[in-house]
Structure 1
Amino acid sequence: MSEMSAEAVLTTTRSVRKRLDLTRPVDLAVVRECLTIALQAPSGSNRQQWQWIVVTDEAQRAAIGDVYRRACHEYLESAGAAGKLFADDPDRSAVQQRVHSSVAALADTMGQVPVLVLPCLRVAGGLPSGNQAGLWGSLLPAAWSYMLAARTRGLGTAWTTLHLSYESEVADILGLPADVHQAALIPTAYYTGTDFKPAPRQPLDEVLHVDRW
């Protein structure tokens, strides 16, 4: 585990898609370490309804990869695809094109990534109608903590949700009970290259509102 400052971990944990090492195995013990850290994240009313599916089996990874590829190609053809956004801003469009390219690359390799992690919620009686922010807010911080912990151990990850268009198919592959709902699909592998740095972002003052809008 590298001795990185908290600020360095928080600002250099990037979505790794093209630079995942598909040939280097990931020891399940390392994934367990990251998940143990993730379980320290806040959970509403301390319910801890989270469930974590870690997929290492080659056939299951390939099957999930097939579903993800189909969903991703549909996304890449849609008007909301990364490469089609901000077309009128040359600087930002260039960044979007790089993101688009990396998304497309992951579509073709997801099934080969050594470890796939699916954070889930187990909710009796089905998901509630209306705003579900409070419900998912008891899982997503833990998933992000997992990704941060992975970063300190030389592992790259990416937050993906495109497969949720076919959530039931992935549930069937994994044999998930009907009351277990997936939040994301996080490919996990050692990465190649070490030049991760903070990403371009809007200036804070363009998005900050103090006291009132």
Structure 2
Amino acid sequence: MPPLDLTADEVLTTTRAVRRRLDLDRPVERTLIEECLRLAAQAPTGRNRQRWDFVLVTDPARRAALADLYRLGLTRPRQQVVRDGVDRGDPVRGRRIAESAQYLFDHLHEVPVLLVPCIRVRGRHENASHVGQANTWGSILPAVWQFMLAARSRGLGTAWTTPHLHYEREAAELLSIPYETVLQAALIPVAHTIGTDFRAGPRTEVDEIAHWDTW
């Protein structure tokens, strides 16, 4: 499948978190995933140590079990998630996001491919320093984002999710991931999208977020 006819700017501004518009009935070709991974592997990483791994879950039973851990993470989280208390959205948009999230909650097990990006470490990071955490996550996030951009350019939809990390050990056992030396970063549903006409999302004006020389 050839890439969509999109400019770089269009890919950057229209790569959305896709939930309700994931095509649950259309298989995703392995070659497409491999193309996206080759582009993801070109991402920069700390000290040029490419410590990432990508677990691609296509087996229906494992997808279902992983989706159950995702749901558990939302309904019975093991860690308190601290909210920043800032809400820049409007109620209508908030309701749409909630409906979209509920759709993914109900249908995640039906998504053709579930991607678990991982990064190899010397030990668990729960008590790592701020600098250590920044280096570790900064070494996997660019690669995942490049995968998501590559997916968008090929008519695939993705969304960054983390609730299953409340049950990371169970997910590690399910997927045979070495728990003590490999951190899971997210759970990314991957599917063809229903239509490809995504638009740029509403965002804060640059003047409100740019701080030149001082805060």
TM-score of the aligned structures, taking structure 2 as reference length:
0.90
For residues 27 and 81 of structure 2, the distance between their equivalents in structure 1, rounded to whole angstroms, comes to 37
CA RMSD of aligned residues (A): 2.0
Match of residue 178 from structure 2: 177
Match of residue 169 from structure 2: 168
For residues 96 and 86 of structure 2, the distance between their equivalents in structure 1, rounded to whole angstroms, comes to 12
Runs of 4+ residues deviating >6 angstroms: 78-81
Name which of structure 1's ranges 65-74 and 184-193 shifts more when overlaid on structure 2.
65-74
SS in 2 for 1:169: helix
For residues 80 and 109 of structure 1, the distance between their equivalents in structure 2, rounded to whole angstroms, comes to 27
For residues 173 and 85 of structure 1, the distance between their equivalents in structure 2, rounded to whole angstroms, comes to 36
- In the alignment, is the contact (CA less than 8 A) between 1:13 and 1:147 conserved in 2? yes
- Count of aligned pairs between the two proteins: 206
**Structure 2: which 5+ runs fail to align?**
none
**Where do residues 56-205 of structure 1 align in structure 2 (5 Å cutoff)?**
56-74=58-76, 86=87, 92-127=90-125, 129-131=128-130, 132-178=133-179, 179-205=181-207
Question: Which residue identity is paired with 2:112?
Answer: P
Match of residue 25 from structure 2: 23
For residues 36 and 30 of structure 1, the distance between their equivalents in structure 2, rounded to whole angstroms, comes to 10
SS in 1 for 2:183: strand
For residues 76 and 100 of structure 2, the distance between their equivalents in structure 1, rounded to whole angstroms, comes to 15
- In the alignment, is the contact (CA less than 8 A) between 1:72 and 1:104 conserved in 2? no
TM-score of the aligned structures, taking structure 1 as reference length:
0.90
Cα distance change on mapping 1:74 and 1:102 into 2, 3 Å: farther
Alignment of 1:50 onto 2:48: no
- In the alignment, is the contact (CA less than 8 A) between 1:73 and 1:104 conserved in 2? no
For residues 122 and 154 of structure 1, the distance between their equivalents in structure 2, rounded to whole angstroms, comes to 30
For residues 125 and 136 of structure 1, the distance between their equivalents in structure 2, rounded to whole angstroms, comes to 14
SS in 2 for 1:51: strand
Percent identical residues? 49
What is the Cα deviation at residue 85 of structure 1? 7.3
